[in-house]
Amino acid sequence: MPVIRTLSKVAKQALLNPGCGCQPITVAVRTISFSPRQVTSDASFHSVSFSETDHPKVLITGGLGQLGVGLAKRLRKRFGNKNVILSDIRKPPSHVFYSGPFIYSDILDYKNLREIVVNNRITWLVHYSALLSAVGEANVSLARDVNITGLHNILDIAAEHGLRLFVPSTIGAFGPTSPRNPTPDLCVQRPRTIYGVSKVHAELMGEYYHHRYGLDFRCLRYPGIISADSQPGGGTTDYAVAIFHDAVKTGKFECNLKPDTRLPMMYIDDCLRATVEMMEAPADTLSMRTYNINAMSFTPEELAQEVQKQLPDLEVTYDIDQVRQAIADSWPMNFDDSNARNDWGWKHDYDLPELVQTMLNYIGSDSRIAQTN
């Protein structure tokens, strides 16, 4: 029966044993309509395997955000330019469009996503599309659609096509009743923002799909991410990026959090490397599917003092944004990432002095080039 050799285990079972309890499947000789949205509890999905000489075919959603372009650059160096596809609903700048494959992708359009995965033979999916904390609070209904409904589409497609799926989580997945210093991988979470609620939902749904369907789901809880080549994007930790731009351009910085607000942070290079290492880690090394990762923890005052070692004339003032302050006060002060370090060898490279020097070198050189032009 040549047709049956092309079917999934569930379809074979339904054809060969009609009394197995599987949902009825209509089979055509040439095509089979099949979706995890229609699969019963007998379903089993597994990641597509490839030999060491092959490379994964990667799709990155929300690719024009803070992390997508950098991750694509890193993965293209590793797997080849054509094997990593950036996607977003926005038009990319020229340097992104011409640097490698880019396509339009709306995560709320299930059919569009499914066609992209099938037509490009995707094996890894990195799901970066999300509305961040402060932006999400300003538009809860949109955050719910993007962060939750969009995730459901991603999970179903990843399960249906046996993808390895990475969905980032965040310090925002914790709440005021969580232990804050340090915050372990497993504890009470109970966030109070739609962003945090949606990320807890993503963690639990991903782990559910892993245990129920065998989906190769992987997740890292990112701390605040600091990068020089992207502007602040509506997050509560954005002050730690804005201070460098303002310090170089104007010599003055107004912080919207209290000077003693301690939060875990990480330089973007460490974040992207951790993501790749997590995606490449053998499944048998993972004792869990969602890990904390961390590099450093500091306050706005400590960051300002470190910047002033390089730019002593920097003036720092504080005008507290009560919404962002309330969010920050509910988040971890420090992450316990010992499981990531023990299980798959996570180790950060950048501490606070290295972070400050790197950011000032990068932004300062860009500023000097702009002035000469």
Q: Which residues are catalytic?
A: 195
Q: Which residues contact 130 (CB under 8 A, 6 or more apart)?
A: 62, 65, 146, 147, 168, 195, 198
Distance, CA of 234 to CA of 198 (rounded, Å)? 16
DSSP letters, 70-83, are: HHHHHHHHHH-GGG
User: 297 by DSSP, 3-state: which?
Assistant: strand
Cis, bond preceding 179 (omega within 30 deg of 0): no
H helix or E strand, kind and range, residue 264: strand 263-267
Number of H helices, E strands in the chain: 14, 13
Number of Cα atoms under 13 Å in the Cβ half of residue 363: 24
Q: Which residues contact 1 (CB under 8 A, 6 or more apart)?
A: none
Distance, CA of 271 to CA of 223 (rounded, Å)? 9
Distance, CA of 112 to CA of 102 (rounded, Å)? 14
Q: Which residues contact 56 (CB under 8 A, 6 or more apart)?
A: 50, 79, 83, 123, 124, 164
**Phi and psi of 62, rounded to 5°?**
60, 35
Q: Strand 216-222 relative to strand 290-292: parallel, antiparallel, unpaired?
A: parallel
Q: What residue type is assigned to position 28 of the chain?
A: A
